[in-house]
Amino acid sequence: MEEHKKNIIFASSNEVSISPRKIRLVVNLVKNKEIQEALDILKYSKKHQISLILRKLLLSALSNWNKIYKNILEKDSNLYIGKIVVNQGKTLKRLRPVPQGRGNRIRKRSSKILVVLEKR
């Protein structure tokens, strides 16, 4: 079990101001892909803001890998995205005025993203 834990590196991003449902659309494209392939998919994705956040997160996880395994090159290590988890973060609640003196609630959702890299 300890040897398996050594091969796992992660990076996380909290309070991303995009709803989890929208982020999961892009995350499903890159699940279980190798790092370079996932970065290429995100580079040409039409969801620019989401793909930019996920791209930064993948590069951060790759940097974390290189800090621990300094002498192993990323090409030789066969890294792939083991798991990406998108959970709901805090929800900001706002009011929008509607007729007859009432107010409707607007929910501005945020997300928490966790990327886990593993070695094949």
Domain ranges in the chain? 2-119
CA 82 to chain centre: 12
Query: With bands split at pLDDT 50, 70 and 90, how would you rate the model's confidence at 111?
Result: very high
pLDDT given at position 65? 87
Q: What residues have CB less than 8 Å from 49, skipping those under 6 apart?
A: 18
How large a percentage of the chain has pLDDT more than 90?
77
- Could you give the count of Cα atoms lying within 13 Å of 98 in the half-sphere of its Cβ? 7
Report d(CA 89, CA 98) in Å as an integer: 27
104-120 exposure pattern, b = at least 16 Cβ within 10 A, e = fewer = eeeeebbbbbbbebbbe
CATH class label, 2-119: alpha beta
- Which tens digits make up the pLDDT trace of 53-95? 999 999 999 998 888 877 555 455 688 999 999 999 999 999 9
Mean pLDDT of the chain: 89
Mean pLDDT on 109-114? 97
pLDDT of residue 102 exceeding 70: yes
Give 65 or 21, the one with higher predicted confidence: 21
**Other Cβ atoms within 10 Å of 75 Cβ, number:** 9
pLDDT given at position 104? 97
Name 109's bridge partners.
91
- pTM comes to 0.84
Residue type, 119: K
- Report helix, strand and coil shares of the chain as percent, to nearest 5: 40, 40, 20
